[in-house]
Amino acid sequence: IDARRRSVVASIAVGASPSGLAVTPDGRLLLSADRDDDSVSVVDTATRARRTTVKVGTRPFGVTIDAEGKRAYAANVGSNDVSVIDIAEARETGRVSVGMRPYAVALAGGRGFVTDQYGGTVSVFDLATLKPVKRLNVGDYPEGITATADGKRIIVANWESNTLSIIDVAELR
């Protein structure tokens, strides 16, 4: 949006029902979780054009990119899993089973943390092996999740209980 004119400067076609968005650390690519197409669109930010589409699990909602800009993680609300995407190759390279209705993923300490909305939990998995590590109880209907800048804590927004849960990354509590 151009602040001076208060108008949209571009419109980019992506898949049906785009929800989560993430930008690579270098700012060159934008990923869009296209919920009703079971895919993630990869958009070139310079040309403002969709470069490719990656098929993922059912109804991806949140998408997160690692600090290196190499992998993306899409939380698939409909299939209760997380798709792991190799961004350079534009393909799904793995899938991790998590709790019911995953909404978003945060990354810290070599692990992925996933909000499981219907379970009231956060599923934790190892980023190297993609194996489950632990499931932590949090508030009701967790949705939003982020890591602190120092990577020592994960903060979870619990929609139904109107609370925030703070997870210690090292101790997983």
Segment 44-100, tens digit of pLDDT: 999 999 999 999 999 999 999 999 999 999 999 999 999 999 999 999 999 999 999
User: Can you tell me the distance from the alpha carbon of 131 to that of 133, in angstroms, rounded to the nearest whole number?
Assistant: 6
Q: Is the model's pLDDT at 39 over the cut of 60?
A: yes
Direct distance between the N- and C-terminal alpha carbons of the chain, in angstroms, rounded to an integer: 41
On whether the CB atoms of residues 157 and 144 are closer than 8 A, the answer is yes
pLDDT band at 2 (very low <50, low <70, confident <90, very high): low
pLDDT band at 27 (very low <50, low <70, confident <90, very high): very high
Q: Which helix (H) or strand (E) holds 166?
A: strand 163-168
Express the helix, strand and coil content of the chain in percent, nearest 5 each.
0, 55, 45
Predicted confidence at residue 73, as pLDDT, reads: 98
pLDDT band at 31 (very low <50, low <70, confident <90, very high): very high
Average pLDDT, the chain: 96
Calculate the alpha carbon distances from 94 to 60, 69, 77, 160, 163 in Å: 14, 17, 16, 31, 32
Give the residue among 24, 125, 39 at the shortest CA–CA distance from 76: 39
Over residues 28-38, the mean pLDDT reads 98
Instruction: Give the tens place of pLDDT for each residue, 111-133.
Output: 999 999 999 999 999 999 999 99
On whether the CB atoms of residues 116 and 101 are closer than 8 A, the answer is yes
Q: Is the model's pLDDT at 4 over the cut of 80?
A: no
Please tell me the least confidently modeled range out of 2-16, 18-32, 69-83, 139-153.
2-16
Sign of the dihedral defined by the CA atoms of residues 51, 56, 61, 63, in that order: negative
Instruction: Name, in order, each residue with C-beta under 8 angstroms of 92's C-beta and a sequence gap of 6 or more.
Output: 54, 55, 56, 83, 84, 85, 86
Helix (H, G, I), strand (E, B) or coil at 36: helix
Question: What pTM was computed for the model?
Answer: 0.94
